[in-house]
Structure 1
Amino acid sequence: MTGLFRRLLRNAARPMKRDRGRGGYVVHPYRGYGSRHEAFLMGRVFRQTSLGERIPRYGVLRDLADIVRRLLRHGLPEVTVKVRLGDNVTTVTTDRDGYFDVHLPLEHPLPREATWHHADLHVVMPGAEPVHSFAEVYVPQVGADLLVISDIDDTVMYTGVANTLRMVHRLFVKQAHQRMAFPGAAALYQALHAGRSGNAKRPILYVSRGPWSIYEMLEEFFQLNRIPVGPILFLREWGISLRKPWPRRAEDHKYDMIKHMLSMRDELPCVLIGDSGQHDPEVYAQIVHEYPERIRAVYIRRVERRSERERAIKALRDEIRYTGCDLVLAEDSMDMAQHAFAQGLISSAGLEKVRQASFT
């Protein structure tokens, strides 16, 4: 139990290590996404406390102090953030929790040979030193032929949210690169990213119902498991307060984000990937009804086997069949890969890599 406790501390404290205990004002942007006409990114401006001189640089006490500092982060409302992407400039204002959304029309084209672009962020507050940061913004290649939008929890990685102790054990005790991702999931997303040609470099967007506070942990998970692209993550601000003690419904967040991403690239067909445990099938079916010519396939990972739940998902499958979109209730990553290959969405080499990763 001591080992579990230490791992929990280290993981919860890790996002605070970057400032080396100095504290102060921080502008923290998240990776963004764009088209050739518009860019979108999010972030937060907050103040975090500094470490006292008596706190050691390493050890349990330092981790506990960093966790407290993280909990005491204070979002700064009504702060102006200046954003520059190439020769395109805009300013936005933070909300009451310090978060900001940037929707930047690209009146000046970005270099076409690059897919990742560097956005500079600049914040000036009265009585404080200017704060600078930067964000990476992903703009798909002009010839991209497919957009992939995926859930994360119980879709890419197993969280087991129904069993809290098991979820904690899997996230923090077992090795991330071996135990967190579903077998074959990384190979499946690599195959979808590469496409039938093997060099399609398709955009893959990940939408989670988790809060922004787990962003750093998810970044590490994607890097360890070599899951493309980015990652580009769209989480949600829970917005909990005394008047509103419960977070915003996750399905509303996912529905809104998917619609926004589809509107930014209205020429691209799309694949949606989720799981059977929450509301993904219902949200995705609604999207298919609204965009019947855009959605090529819906892949739902089977994570529970309640008969009434499976009947409901199969009813949704029959309901959207008129659009030509297949809803696949998949046992594993290989089921998704086989359908994707049959639809010409991935290559035979990609299929074989999923097969090898699923059964080794």
Structure 2
Amino acid sequence: MASRPFFAARLEDRFSRLVGRTLERRGWEESIISYTGYGTSEQLRILARVVLRPSDDLGIVQAASALIYRRGWRNFINASKVSPRVTVVIDDVRIPIEADRNGYVDVRVRNPGLTPGWHNVTLEGEGGASAVAPVQVIADDVDFGIVSDIDDTIISTWLPRPLIAAWNSFVLTEQARQAVPGMARLYQKLLAEHPGAPIIFVSTGAWNTYPMIQRFIARHGIPNGAMLFTDWGPTNTGWFRSGQDHKRRCLHELARDLPGIRWVLVGDDGQHDPELYAEFASLRPEHVRARAIRQLTPGEHALAHGLPMEVPAHEAEWAPDMAPEVRAPDGDGLGDKLRELLTPQD
């Protein structure tokens, strides 16, 4: 018996199609937003989204130097194009695909011969739009990688308190956002010690914030890498997506796509990272080298949970068959403790 999508998802699809037709009559045009992907010698993971945007972008785009003064809500001015067709172009290879009901492209295609390193893949829409998506091809002999959370791990966002999150996402200018001290140095050093290794950012944040996060990490010297966000709103099975399930699924997908890599999992103790990372390390110990948890201050915990929480005093904990865990309040502290764990294994 065929199953139907959740009724809220069906309503959203109808509304999106109605809005799309209306906007196209008003002159809005197809646009492709490309995201950073990753791959191996065998396959590439291509990420993008097809949306409708006003032809002049409502006058939002000013000089490039003014981008850091954009308020967060400007990242949300677009409308998804429902199930559009897109062609992935890699050299002389053309691969037709169909995006999902919200215009998202998340496909794995055969690598036609791209060598290890960074490459550009072209995406062409049926409405004439095109975009270039960067893809990092990871060599088969690379066995080290970093998985990093974003909120309160590399950027102080004071999540998940709804009012503060909304203020940070929709009102606060980009240049006012603060980086967590030492995280850029930590990632730079780890990747310098392991040439060709990837860093993958996994977040429960919305894909709409991707351009802002990209500019943020570039501005603060954080290494570039693929980002795996989620889409807010109804799904085929319910009203909202589960952030924990999204992160859990991303970790298992990375283990499947990059089976030779043992990851350093970096997160914070403000939400569910310690539990999720411990679960993954217990289920797939061969894919985890270490777990690094940034400790929020009592003030950050109070903003995140409404009550101050005691910061754990232990420095490391592990089970017999589980990768060790270290905790520190910033990137420099985590780096010192990780160095003791990683050096003997390299």
Counterpart selection for 2:179 from 172, 181, 200:
181
Q: Distance in 2 between matches of 1:172 and 1:67?
A: 9
Q: Distance in 1 between matches of 2:61 and 2:263?
A: 48
Counterpart selection for 1:33 from 25, 30, 38:
38
The answer (yes or no) to whether the contact 1:152–1:206 under 8 Å persists in 2 is: yes
Counterpart secondary structure, 2:155 = coil
Aligned to 2:113: 109
CA deviation after TM superposition for structure 1 residue 335, in Å: 2.5
Q: TM-score, normalised by structure 1?
A: 0.73
The answer (yes or no) to whether the contact 1:159–1:167 under 8 Å persists in 2 is: no
Gap regions ≥5 residues in structure 2: 1-26, 63-68, 299-306
Q: Distance in 2 between matches of 1:302 and 1:234?
A: 23
The answer (yes or no) to whether the contact 2:282–2:322 under 8 Å persists in 1 is: no
Tell whether 2:326 aligns with 1:328: yes
The answer (yes or no) to whether the contact 1:222–1:231 under 8 Å persists in 2 is: no
Aligned to 1:235: 229
1:1-360 equivalences under 5 Å are 23-50=28-55, 70-71=76-77, 73-106=78-111, 108-112=112-116, 115-124=117-126, 128=127, 130-161=128-159, 164-165=163-164, 168=167, 172=172, 175=175, 180-195=178-193, 200-228=195-223, 230-240=224-234, 245=239, 247-305=240-298, 320-345=318-343
Change (3 A) 1:69 1:39: closer
Change (3 A) 1:322 1:52: closer
Counterpart secondary structure, 1:96 = coil
CA deviation after TM superposition for structure 1 residue 329, in Å: 2.3
Gap regions ≥5 residues in structure 1: 1-21, 347-360
The answer (yes or no) to whether the contact 1:194–1:200 under 8 Å persists in 2 is: yes
Aligned to 1:351: none
The answer (yes or no) to whether the contact 1:208–1:236 under 8 Å persists in 2 is: yes
Which amino acid in the other structure matches residue 228 of structure 2? Answer: F
Give the number of aligned pairs: 301
The answer (yes or no) to whether the contact 1:277–1:304 under 8 Å persists in 2 is: no
CA deviation after TM superposition for structure 1 residue 307, in Å: 8.9
Q: Distance in 2 between matches of 1:80 and 1:333?
A: 42
CA deviation after TM superposition for structure 1 residue 151, in Å: 0.2
The answer (yes or no) to whether the contact 1:86–1:110 under 8 Å persists in 2 is: no
CA-to-aligned-CA distance 1:266-290 (integer Å, 9 cap, x gap): 1111110000011111111111111
- The percentage of aligned residue pairs carrying the same residue is 27
The answer (yes or no) to whether the contact 1:161–1:167 under 8 Å persists in 2 is: no
Alignment RMSD: 3.6
Change (3 A) 1:41 1:166: closer
Change (3 A) 1:50 1:67: farther
Q: Distance in 2 between matches of 1:172 and 1:40?
A: 32
Q: TM-score, normalised by structure 2?
A: 0.75
The answer (yes or no) to whether the contact 1:78–1:95 under 8 Å persists in 2 is: yes
Considering Cα pairs closer than 8 Å and 6+ residues apart, tell me whether 1 or 2 has the greater RCO: 2
Counterpart secondary structure, 2:132 = strand
